[in-house]
Structure 1
Amino acid sequence: EVRRELRVSSEAPVLCLAGRFHPVKGHREMIDIFSLLLRRRPDSVLMMLGDGPARATCERVIAERGIADSVRLLGYRNDVARWLGAADVVVVPSRSEGLCRAAIEGNLCGLPAVAYDVGGLSEALPDPVCGWLVPAGEEQRFVTAIERALESGIVTATHERVRAARERFGLVEHVQRLTDCYDALEA
């Protein structure tokens, strides 16, 4: 349903970056990384959820690179779990991070994450079942980690397990309730 709404084929690899558009969150760097990935996986799509001061810069760079057809800028969303359901991998190119909620939410939705190894991400992604950590600033290694995540059986197998669980237990609703709890704790 979400992929149809985004006009993305069911076979296309979809990456999701969820977070405030701020230089420390690495949206600009992700555009560079995604441009490298498109050379090898031209059917890839990058969803960027969020808003903030760096969004205009990102929009300009996306247009300059000629990759606007492959990037979906979706703005601020309260229903992140719904959008994660359309993704294959969560990406976290942050320069600094506490305990990364986006990576954790992605894992709760059955998605592996690829992230720079900064701050609390080593706690959020302790092993390759959860995701891959890359030394900060290593764009080519980030691309390689994304390709590993997409090619590994983890993504396909996990998607199948999660799809079945959603049908029985309503995972999206559960994740949304958990997110609401986190939001209440942060307030």
Structure 2
Amino acid sequence: MSRVLLVTPTLDASGAEKQLMLLARGLPRDEFEFEVLALTRGGPYEEKIRAAKIPVDILHKRWKLDPNTLMKLKQRIQSFAPDIVHSWMFTANSYCRLALPKQSRPKMLISERCVDTWKSGWQKWLDKKLMPRTDAMIANSESVAEHYRDFGFPAEKITVIPNGVEECDLDATLRAEVRSELGIPADGKVVGFIGRLAKQKRVEDLLWAVQLLKQLTEDVHMIFVGDGPLRPRLEQLAKVYECEHLTHFVGHQNDTQRYLSAMDVFWLGSEFEGMSNSLMEAMACGLPVVASDIPPNRELIESGVSGYLAPLGDAVAFAQFTQRIFAETNLATQLGSAAQSRMREQFTIPQMIERHIEVYRGLIATTG
């Protein structure tokens, strides 16, 4: 039986952590023995992993550069003796490669989940320095893979494995329940966003699009699901735009399907992504979507067929595409059905798990 150590910075309720949780719960236990290690803290997905009777440990990292955590990680790798260390995202990727033993080391597999334009000079330097200690990389989109090929990572070591998304359907009961809670009429037009209220997501563009859309459509409402540093500014802008009565900030929610069911159209305006879980979940539920025209979103949406792609930062296009969906009979159903079919055919959780297993087997076959 092969041993795999899955390492992540946290087990927060975020996209990469969800994919790790889904992978851990789906790996065949007659072929793999595995543990999950979080460097800094646990979170909602820790409970889900433990519920599946998978060992989880938290190292409680306190600082960016924490020698104590690095030492504990080295000890854990030595005691568990994995065949593969599979780390996720920059912090875990860095710590794990630094912690590898010099002799008889396990295979080192890193996962990159985003086009990381935010990385500083020293972070890029460290990535370059640690490349020789890396046996393989998993990228969750072709866009991420291209980003790291351009960065200098060997193309032959990169495998693209898209995120997997759970099947779901919109629920009429939840739709009525959430709308009642928020004071939205049953026949109101509702657009929504799920994610972190941060600069990367271009949420101010979405709020401006609401202001434009309300000039075109009666009784339109916007639901923001999520929290982040821009929430106070968004709430203030909603007052400036005189649409605070149409804009609903509900904070972080574990059960996002409740809110997807209340929506008529899903928006994502991000300037960069890896592969958006929230966008995929909306498509999997059969919601029509309007998203920014960036490479990762193009991998999910065929514009005009399974949703619409709007130029980055173009609030007018978001409003116009959404107005078209509201105005044209059957268009919402056609777009939503095509989106749902695409998710169920090409982006399932079993497909995601099987592709990881193939990478694991390939690495183990080259051991020694």
8 Å Cα contact 1:91/1:114 also seen in 2: yes
1:58 aligns with 2:228: no
8 Å Cα contact 1:114/1:142 also seen in 2: yes
Q: What SS does structure 1 have at the residue aligned with 2:304? A: coil
Superposition deviation, residue 14 in structure 1:
0.3
Which residue among 43, 55, 80 is the counterpart of 2:256?
80
Change (3 A) 1:151 1:114: same
Superposition deviation, residue 73 in structure 1:
0.3
Q: What SS does structure 2 have at the residue aligned with 1:69? A: coil
8 Å Cα contact 1:116/1:133 also seen in 2: yes
Query: 1:141-180 alignment to 2 at 5 Å?
Result: 141-152=317-328, 153-156=330-333
Query: 1:37-48 alignment to 2 at 5 Å?
Result: 37-48=213-224
Which residue among 209, 221, 229 is the counterpart of 1:33?
209
- Listed as ranges, the gaps of 5+ residues in structure 1 are 162-177
Cα distance in 1 between the residues matched to 2:213 and 2:315:
10
Name the aligned partner's letter for residue 332 of structure 2: V
Cα distance in 1 between the residues matched to 2:322 and 2:278:
16
What value does the CA root-mean-square deviation take over the aligned residues? Answer: 2.2
Question: Which residue in 1 is equivalent to 2:283?
Answer: 107
**The structure with more strand, counted as a fraction of residues:** 2
- Listed as ranges, the gaps of 5+ residues in structure 2 are 1-176, 338-348, 357-368
Cα distance in 2 between the residues matched to 1:8 and 1:157:
25
1:108-150 C-alpha deviation (Å, 9 max, x unpaired): 1110110110130011212434210011122212211111222
Which residue among 17, 21, 32 is the counterpart of 2:193?
17
Query: 1:95-134 alignment to 2 at 5 Å?
Result: 95-134=271-310
Q: What SS does structure 2 have at the residue aligned with 1:53? A: coil
**TM-score normalised by structure 2 residue count:** 0.42
Cα distance in 1 between the residues matched to 2:179 and 2:203:
22
Q: What SS does structure 2 have at the residue aligned with 1:124? A: coil
Cα distance in 2 between the residues matched to 1:26 and 1:137:
7
Deviation beyond 3 Å, 4+ runs, structure 1: 156-159
Which residue among 243, 263, 266 is the counterpart of 1:67?
243
Question: Which residue in 2 is equivalent to 1:2?
Answer: 178
Superposition deviation, residue 77 in structure 1:
0.5
**The structure with more helix, counted as a fraction of residues:** 1
Q: What SS does structure 1 have at the residue aligned with 2:295? A: coil
Change (3 A) 1:158 1:120: closer
Change (3 A) 1:129 1:10: farther
8 Å Cα contact 1:116/1:135 also seen in 2: yes
Cα distance in 2 between the residues matched to 1:143 and 1:71:
15
Question: Which residue in 2 is equivalent to 1:169?
Answer: none
Cα distance in 2 between the residues matched to 1:76 and 1:32:
22
How many aligned positions are there?
Answer: 164
Cα distance in 2 between the residues matched to 1:84 and 1:58:
21
Cα distance in 1 between the residues matched to 2:333 and 2:295:
29
Change (3 A) 1:157 1:3: farther
Change (3 A) 1:82 1:26: same
Which residue among 263, 267, 280 is the counterpart of 1:91?
267
Name the aligned partner's letter for residue 138 of structure 1: D
Name the aligned partner's letter for residue 139 of structure 1: A
Q: What SS does structure 1 have at the residue aligned with 2:237? A: helix
Superposition deviation, residue 156 in structure 1:
4.8
